[in-house]
């Protein structure tokens, strides 16, 4: 977003027309008032200030304009018309309890079941019991058994054989995904036998056979384009096996569905699902599939890594935005993970909230009444196309490595993902990518709900893992917050510092309102030497820093403070850098700062 697009005058309702320069001037005025632009910055700097770039290097503009789409042709419209499938995950290991749970889910709004089988869910032997009294011709069941997909599919077939399965039912077999998950033996390079058995069972039952699970790499930290590129490469592998059995490409494509993650990055998630349809349609076109057979079935799942163990109620907001994006993007099925997923086994309340998220979006917000409502929006169309191009390039890299199996086994795919993870970690550390309730606005005194433990999937790498690790072990001591001047003068920086310290599991002791160094030091020393905090943070306005900041630093050191932090940036107009040991302001590497502070408190 270094350059502004050439935007022609836009006509608004009422016939008024405004130029790019008028918008830039109005936006720049707001940003200058907020301190995000200086008086010296030109007005067109708003494009860089308000725009951003995804982890794939795709620009997200702050304003949609006709020039963004140029001669792009919209394609990949969703096939779904009307309500999406509310698909709930069932991973209860006790078969009888799982049966009670899934029947309750179906009675209260769920329309299909995502049955997770294996070490992290239901044992294979419990499938028949769990599905007791379930009308398989009315409620689609999708299996997810990465550890032993064929055995699970055979057990399901024993229950379903002789009946009719509802549209959307699938054996959910994904041998490549099992390898990525770590559920398949390392070094497995042969997927054909598994895919061929999936074809045999699916033909016998009349259901879907394969699920390309993009969340396998998403949970490792993959970018959106990497997830799409991996999914396409995996689907291509399955198509090659299926067509080698004599099946034509169109029939083979009907056996494949996609599972993709959606996050609280609303516009990117919308574009991601729209790009998936476009890419799959293009791949099938190149494979000779007629246009009528190029549809895509997409199961969208709210992102696991975006979920937080702390302030878990914020996860309700994250999953709601993600589900909204999935619905707008035309997902055929949507799974909203319960807000307490990271804490253990979700309870009935959290499952109901998750289920009702889709119900409310469908029945109250009426999102399902319009097909592809984002279609034609200039910024979304541009983002969709750019993301599709980036994903197609990733597909090329995977294929160049010899296909998806080779790319997984030789580490080249993981290497690219790790580079994305490193950049995301940097953005999280500096709070360029803020995590509400964790890196921003944390509460050290929150009481987390208790849940029954369950095995955690080891490959899920939460975006906030580094902050969570600090919160898991609270600091050994508190920071003394040396607030300078009246509350009105110091509250902004005191609040900033308090929240920043709390993000690292560090509590503070506030000195209160004092107008001179003597009073602040007296507050610091009044409880006696044994209670004096080794770390002190100055929090006040620049005027107070300049007037008596140096005096206060010296007095605090004389009183026993060994590490002095400045809330704000040191300088000639505040406190000289050589007088303090550390400082914190917007843009600082928060993780590095918090780790340094905790070392001084230990």
Is 337 in contact with 326 (CB distance < 8 Å)?
A: no
- pLDDT score recorded for residue 377: 87
Cα–Cα distance, 180 to 503 (Å, whole number): 32
Chain position carrying tokens 């007095």:
555
pLDDT of residue 187: 53
Could you tell me if 575 and 550 are in contact, meaning their C-beta atoms sit under 8 angstroms apart?
yes
- Rounded average pLDDT over 236-261: 96
- Ramachandran bin of 541, using left for φ above 0, alpha for ψ from -120 to 50, beta for the remaining angles: beta
Q: Computed over its alpha carbons, how large is the radius of gyration of the chain?
A: 28
DSSP string, 319-355: HHHHHHHHHHTT-SEEEPPPTTGGGSS--HHHHHHHH
Q: Which percentage of the chain shows pLDDT scores above 90?
A: 78
DSSP 476: S
Pairing of strands 563-567, 333-335: unpaired
pLDDT over 90 (residue 350): yes
Task: Kindly write down the DSSP assignment for every residue of 36-67, as one continuous string.
Answer: SS-TTS-GGGHHHHH-EE-TTS-EE-SS--GG
Residue 14 sits at φ, ψ, to 5 deg, of: 90, -5
Q: Which structural domains are found in the chain, ordered by start?
A: 10-68 (no CATH), 85-366 (3.20.20.240), 473-601 (3.40.50.280)
Band the pLDDT of 258: cuts 50, 70, 90.
Answer: very high
Q: Has residue 1 got a pLDDT over 60?
A: no
The whole-number pLDDT of residue 585 equals 93
Rounded Cα–Cα distance for residues 513 and 486 (Å): 5
Quick one: pLDDT at residue 348? 94
> From CA 433, how far away is CA 424, in angstroms rounded?
8
Instruction: Count the Cβ atoms, other than its own, within 10 Å of residue 596.
Output: 17
Q: Are 470 and 594 in contact (CB under 8 A)?
A: yes
pLDDT, tens digit, for every residue of 542-601? 999 999 999 999 999 999 899 999 999 999 889 999 999 999 999 899 999 999 999 999
> In angstroms, rounded to a whole number, what is the distance separating the alpha carbons of residues 18 and 73?
27
CA distance 596 to 500: 13
- Tokens 């009702």 correspond to 356
Question: What's the average model confidence in pLDDT over 124-146?
Answer: 95
Would you state the pLDDT for residue 572?
Answer: 84
Q: What is the pLDDT of residue 80?
A: 72
Q: Which residues pair with 85 in a beta bridge?
A: 333
The pLDDT value recorded for residue 375 is: 87
Q: Write out pLDDT tens, residues 184-199.
A: 765 567 899 999 999 9
Average pLDDT over residues 228-244: 97
Give yes or no for a contact between 401 and 412, defined as CB atoms under 8 angstroms apart.
Answer: yes
Query: How many Cα atoms are found within 13 Å in the side-chain-facing hemisphere of 436?
Result: 8
- Give the residue from 509, 522, 515 showing the smallest Cα distance to 488: 515
Give residue 2's pLDDT band: very low, low, confident or very high (50, 70, 90).
Answer: very low
Q: Give the tens place of pLDDT for each residue, 499-525.
A: 999 999 999 998 889 899 999 999 888
The per-residue pLDDT for 188 is 62
* Whole-number Å distance between alpha carbons of 363 and 320: 14
State the virtual CA torsion across 225, 226, 227, 230 in degrees, nearest 10. 120
Residue 532 scores a pLDDT above 70: no
Give the C-alpha separation, 325 to 384, whole Å: 13
DSSP state of 389: H
pLDDT at 279: 96
Alpha-carbon distance of 152 to 146, in angstroms, equals: 9
- The torsion angles phi and psi of 335, rounded to 5 degrees, stand at -115, 120
Phi-psi region of 555 (alpha: psi -120 to 50; beta: other; left: phi over 0): alpha
Q: Which pLDDT belongs to residue 530?
A: 58
Q: For position 550, what pLDDT does the model report?
A: 94
The distance from CA 135 to its chain's CA centroid, rounded to whole angstroms, is: 34
418: which DSSP letter? H
Tens digit of each residue's pLDDT (9 = 90 or more) over 198-223: 999 999 999 999 999 999 999 999 99
* Strand-strand pairing, 256-262 and 298-302: parallel
Torsion-angle region of residue 75: left (phi > 0), alpha (psi -120 to 50) or beta? beta
pLDDT value of position 357? 97
CA–CA dist 188, 82 (Å, integer): 41
State yes or no: pLDDT of 98 exceeds 80: yes
| pLDDT interval class at 6 (50, 70, 90) | low
Distances (CA, A) of 112 to 109, 135, 282, 587: 9, 11, 29, 45
């Amino acid at each position: 977003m270094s350059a502004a697009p050439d935007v022609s005058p836009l006509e608004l309702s009422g016939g008024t027309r405004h130029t790019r320069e008028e918008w830039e001037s109005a936006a720049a005025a707001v940003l200058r008032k907020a301190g995000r632009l200086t008086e010296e910055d030109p007005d067109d700097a708003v494009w860089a200030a308000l725009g951003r770039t995804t982890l794939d290097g795709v620009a997200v503009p702050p304003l949609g304009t006709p020039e963004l789409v140029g001669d792009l042709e919209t394609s990949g419209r969703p096939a779904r018309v009307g309500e999406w499938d509310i698909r709930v995950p069932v991973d209860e290991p006790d078969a009888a309890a799982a049966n009670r749970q899934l029947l309750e889910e179906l009675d209260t709004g769920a329309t299909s079941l995502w049955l997770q089988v294996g070490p992290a869910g239901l044992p294979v032997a419990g499938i028949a019991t769990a599905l007791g009294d379930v009308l398989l011709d009315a409620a689609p069941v999708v299996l997810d058994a990465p550890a032993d997909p064929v055995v699970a599919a055979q057990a399901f077939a024993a229950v379903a054989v002789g009946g009719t399965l509802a549209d959307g039912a699938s054996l959910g077999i994904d041998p490549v995904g099992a390898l990525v998950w770590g559920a398949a033996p390392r070094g497995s390079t042969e997927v054909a036998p598994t895919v061929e058995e999936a074809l045999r069972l699916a033909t016998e039952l009349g259901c879907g056979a394969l699920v390309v699970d993009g969340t396998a790499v998403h949970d490792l930290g993959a970018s959106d384009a990497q997830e799409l590129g991996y999914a396409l490469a995996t689907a291509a592998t399955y198509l090659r096996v299926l067509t080698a059995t004599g099946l034509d490409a169109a029939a083979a494509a009907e056996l494949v569905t996609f599972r993709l993650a959606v996050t609280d990055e609303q516009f990117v998630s919308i574009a991601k699902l729209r790009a998936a349809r476009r890419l799959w349609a293009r791949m099938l076109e190149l494979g000779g599939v007629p246009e009528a057979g190029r549809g895509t079935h997409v199961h969208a799942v709210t992102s696991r890594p975006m979920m937080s163990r702390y302030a878990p109620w914020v996860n309700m907001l994250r999953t709601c935005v993600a589900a909204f994006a999935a619905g707008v993007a035309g997902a055929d099925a949507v799974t909203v993970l319960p807000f307490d997923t990271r804490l253990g086994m979700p309870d009935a309340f959290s499952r109901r909230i998750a289920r009702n998220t889709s119900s409310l979006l469908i029945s109250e917000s009426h999102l399902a009444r319009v097909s592809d409502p984002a279609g034609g929006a200039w910024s979304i169309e541009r983002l969709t196309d750019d993301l599709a191009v980036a994903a197609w390039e990733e597909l090329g890299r995977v294929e160049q490595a010899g296909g998806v199996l080779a790319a997984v086994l030789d580490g080249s795919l993981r290497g690219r993902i790790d580079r994305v993870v490193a950049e995301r970690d940097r953005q999280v550390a500096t709070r360029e990518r803020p995590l509400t309730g964790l890196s921003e606005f944390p509460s050290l005194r929150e009481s987390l709900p208790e849940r029954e433990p369950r095995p955690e999937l080891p490959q899920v790498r939460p975006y906030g893992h580094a902050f969570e690790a600090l919160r898991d072990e609270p600091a050994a001591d508190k920071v003394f917050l040396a607030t300078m001047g009246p509350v009105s003068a110091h509250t902004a920086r005191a609040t900033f510092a308090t929240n920043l310290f709390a993000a690292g599991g560090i509590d503070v002791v506030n000195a209160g309102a004092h107008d001179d160094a003597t009073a602040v030091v007296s507050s610091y020393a009044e409880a006696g030497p044994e209670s004096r905090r080794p770390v002190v943070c100055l929090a006040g306005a620049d005027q107070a820093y300049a007037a008596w900041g140096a005096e206060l630093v010296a007095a605090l050191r004389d009183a026993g403070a060994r590490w002095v932090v400045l809330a704000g940036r040191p300088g000639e107009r505040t406190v000289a850098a050589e007088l303090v040991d550390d400082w914190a302001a917007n843009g600082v590497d928060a993780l590095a700062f918090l780790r340094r502070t905790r070392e001084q408190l230990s």
